[in-house]
A = this chain, B = another copy of it.
Amino acid sequence: MDAAARLFSERGYHGTSMQHLGQALGLQRGSLYAHIGSKEELLFDVVNQGAERFLGMARHAASSGEPAAARLRALLVGHVSTAAQHLEASTVFLNEWRYLSPVPRAQIQAKRDLYETVVRRIISDGVAAGEFDPGVNVAMAGRLVLSAGNWIYTWYHPDGALSASAIGAELFDLILNGLAKEGPA
């Protein structure tokens, strides 16, 4: 699965052949098929493991009992850290999952929807508790949080100046406080 995550993230799912996988593992194509069912099963396994990793982290962040801002912060920091720790698998989860055929794709879509629901619930909790502005568009705010976290895979470098959790914290502070000097207009 590590080899598949690396190859699918570098070359794309369609650009990776069973021969590439065999070469990466020092196995003949025939021996490879003794271990895995098909290239698509391997894609599903990498994508599904990615989905479970993000969902597990989100459930943990959401259930801490802390105020909504602290929970949303933990979720975004956790999201960026998870993506950074498993950069290749996360790239495949975020990018190549769309090449799954309809049934496995729908299974992954359900997990993505669930993740988004967790994010939106924290935001609507924060609005209900008076922590967040009552005018916040909850769905759009959820998308902004996910966009910030998901786009990471295109620019994060392990040797960059900021750690993944520092990046998550800075993005969260921007989303919480905004650019404007005087607060909400």
Residues of A within 8 A of B (CB): 11-15, 69, 72, 95, 99, 123, 126, 130-134, 136-137, 140-141, 143-144, 146-148, 150-152, 154-155, 167, 170-171, 174-185
A152: chain B residues within 8 A (beta carbon)? 147
CA distance A69 to B180 in the complex (A): 8
A123: chain B residues within 8 A (beta carbon)? 179
Task: Specify the main secondary structure of chain A where it touches its partner.
Answer: helix
CA distance A72 to B11 in the complex (A): 35
Identical copies of this chain, number: 2
CA distance A90 to B12 in the complex (A): 18
CA distance A148 to B123 in the complex (A): 17
CA distance A63 to B89 in the complex (A): 40
A147 to chain B, nearest CB (A): 4
Q: Output the nearest chain B residue to A166 by Cβ-Cβ distance.
A: B140
Across the interface, do B147 and A99 meet the contact criterion of CB distance under 8 Å?
no
Across the interface, do A132 and B179 meet the contact criterion of CB distance under 8 Å?
yes
Q: Output the nearest chain B residue to A184 by Cβ-Cβ distance.
A: B177
A19 to chain B, nearest CB (A): 14
Q: Output the nearest chain B residue to A161 by Cβ-Cβ distance.
A: B139
A151: chain B residues within 8 A (beta carbon)? 143, 146-147, 150-151
CA distance A177 to B178 in the complex (A): 4
A178: chain B residues within 8 A (beta carbon)? 133, 174-178, 180, 183-184
| Pairs A–B under 8 Å by Cβ, sample size 10 | A12-B12, A14-B14, A15-B99, A130-B181, A133-B179, A133-B180, A140-B167, A147-B147, A176-B180, A177-B183
